[in-house]
């Protein structure tokens, strides 16, 4: 191809040895280069600023977050008020749902007042409270004024002594609104975090009849012990307390299965996994004393022949103590949950517990709303006093004949002989003493308790 001319020094290529590196420290920019770089930088900044100021971006956020929440609040209030016959709320107090769920009926009025009824109270009882839908990290339904229903679940010192002191049942009266439509409102308890659902009550439904239907099932399903069968094979045994079943595993561990009563039976707070099945609702069958669906049956265990139901203990009695030397007319009044009675007639009202498994009643350690501790007292054990929960007396209702005086017929009566319940170790409870929790003063003494009797009906 002929000889190529040797490149001039200006264009001569060079190769770097491995030990050499290119050097740029001798390269210098003249004023023309500097001006071009400055113009390029200025153009880039101008384009960035211009793009940040374009009106198209503002269209994505036409409303502020505050405006959107206010709009949702107005919409949710309208939905709540549109349900002319109100809403059915499946209410679960306690973060652990240890007391199960309860049915509350709510009707929201335009004037900011709400009607409130609950299956725990008399069916015709309607409480009133102001309510509001406000912004608290999102729309929140809140009940602002005292009402007996929510107060019962939220009061730290529960009227029935349920829950730890200072906590009560730990219920909610403020609810974050997760979703809200005409068909369903999903709430989240602000304190418990429990998810609760409201659905509109049918227009033709009567509040009293609706609650009576629920109360009827709670009354009929009174036994405390049940057997769980799947496809007619008995799998588990459970006990009932409050609004939950307690399942005991083979290793002795226990699992709570919270539910709420419906007009047809029960509904679990979440799908219940039994073997390969998922169970949400069961219907009550009074004839078979069981909650059932096509695959699962939760049937009450057959009760002893002489089993005494909760309502059979209520009524008027003569309370006997001081080894029979003192008799006082008292009344045992039924309380909520079929778990206790309020004994009236003494200077202090006492709570008598009902044991649904055995069908017995008992007087145990307790603290009244007035701050008086009713303490088990063992006179025959050297006068010792206990502050242990569960220690006390127990007994069963029995029919008997009280002998008459000479020449007179005996009297048919019902008696309850009280005796130590075996929870005090080596000591024996035979008496009770009431002490002021603050001052330590003795308020009442009930030495050598015998029990109750009344004339048979």
Tell me the per-residue pLDDT of 417-433, one tens digit each, with 9 for 90 and over.
999 999 999 999 999 99
Q: What's the 3-state SS for 318-362?
A: EEEECCCCEEEEEEEEECHHHCEEEEECCCCCEEEEEECCCCEEE
End-to-end CA distance of the chain: 136
Helix locations, 155-280, DSSP H:
207-220
Q: Is the pLDDT of residue 297 over 80?
A: yes
Percent of the chain at pLDDT > 90 equals 70
Q: What is the pTM of this model?
A: 0.78
| Lowest mean per-residue pLDDT among 25-34, 141-150, 224-233, 351-360 | 25-34
Q: For 40, phi and psi rounded to 5 degrees?
A: -65, -45
| Lowest mean per-residue pLDDT among 32-36, 166-170, 214-218 | 32-36
107, β-bridge pairs: 115
CATH architecture of 66-211: Beta Barrel (2.40)
Pair of tokens at residue 21: 């590196």
pLDDT in tens, 391-416: 999 999 999 987 877 778 888 999 99
More confident residue, 216 or 273: 216
Domain extents for the chain? 66-211, 221-300, 310-455
44/160 Cα distance (integer angstroms)? 74
Q: What is the pLDDT of residue 136?
A: 86
Q: What is the pLDDT of residue 1?
A: 44
Average pLDDT over residues 246-257: 88
Q: What is the pLDDT of residue 338?
A: 87
> Within its chain, how far is the Cα of 89 from the centroid?
13
CA angle at residue 312 from 408 to 351, to 5 degrees? 105
Q: Is the pLDDT of residue 308 over 80?
A: yes
Average pLDDT over residues 92-102: 97
Q: Is the pLDDT of residue 175 over 90?
A: yes
């Amino acid at each position: 191809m002929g000889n190529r001319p040797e490149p001039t020094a200006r264009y001569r290529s060079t190769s770097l040895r491995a030990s050499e590196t290119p050097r740029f420290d001798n390269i210098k920019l003249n004023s023309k280069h500097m001006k071009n770089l400055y113009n390029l930088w200025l153009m880039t900044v101008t384009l960035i600023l211009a793009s940040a100021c374009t009106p198209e971006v503002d269209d994505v956020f036409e409303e502020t977050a505050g405006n959107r929440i206010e709009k949702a609040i107005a919409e949710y209030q309208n939905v709540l008020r549109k349900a002319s016959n109100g809403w059915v709320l499946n209410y679960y107090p306690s973060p652990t749902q240890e007391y199960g769920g309860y049915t509350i009926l709510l009707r929201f009025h335009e004037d900011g007042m709400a009607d409130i009824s609950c299956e725990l109270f008399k069916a015709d009882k309607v409480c009133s409270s102001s309510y509001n839908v406000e912004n608290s990290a999102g729309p929140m339904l809140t009940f602002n004024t005292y009402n007996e229903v929510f107060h019962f679940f939220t009061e730290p010192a529960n009227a029935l002594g349920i829950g730890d002191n200072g906590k009560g049942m730990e219920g909610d009266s403020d609810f974050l609104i997760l979703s809200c439509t005409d068909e369903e409102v999903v709430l989240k308890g602000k304190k418990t975090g429990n998810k609760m659902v409201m659905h509109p009550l049918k227009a033709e439904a009567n509040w009293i009849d609706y609650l009576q239907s629920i109360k009827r099932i709670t009354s009929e399903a009174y036994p405390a012990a049940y057997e769980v069968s799947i496809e007619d094979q008995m799998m588990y045994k459970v006990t009932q307390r409050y609004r939950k079943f307690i399942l005991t595993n083979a290793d002795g561990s226990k699992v709570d299965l919270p539910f709420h009563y419906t007009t047809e039976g029960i509904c679990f707070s979440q799908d219940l996994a039994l073997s390969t099945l998922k169970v949400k609702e069961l219907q009550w069958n009074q004839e078979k004393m069981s909650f059932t669906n096509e695959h699962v049956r939760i049937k009450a265990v057959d009760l002893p022949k002489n089993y005494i139901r909760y309502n059979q203990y209520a009524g008027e009695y003569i309370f006997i103590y001081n080894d029979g030397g003192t008799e006082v007319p008292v009344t045992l009044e039924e309380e909520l949950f079929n778990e206790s009675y309020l004994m009236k007639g003494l200077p202090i009202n006492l709570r008598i517990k009902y044991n649904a498994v055995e069908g017995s009643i008992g007087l145990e350690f307790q603290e009244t709303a007035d701050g008086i501790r009713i303490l088990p007292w063992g006179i025959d054990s050297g006068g010792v006093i206990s502050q242990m929960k569960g220690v006390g007396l127990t007994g069963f209702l029995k029919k008997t004949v009280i002998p008459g005086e000479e020449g007179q017929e005996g009297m048919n009566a019902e008696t309850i002989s009280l005796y130590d319940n075996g929870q005090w170790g080596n000591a024996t409870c035979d008496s009770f003493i009431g002490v002021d929790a603050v001052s330590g003063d003795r308020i009442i003494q009930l030495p050598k308790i015998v029990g109750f009797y009344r004339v048979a009906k």
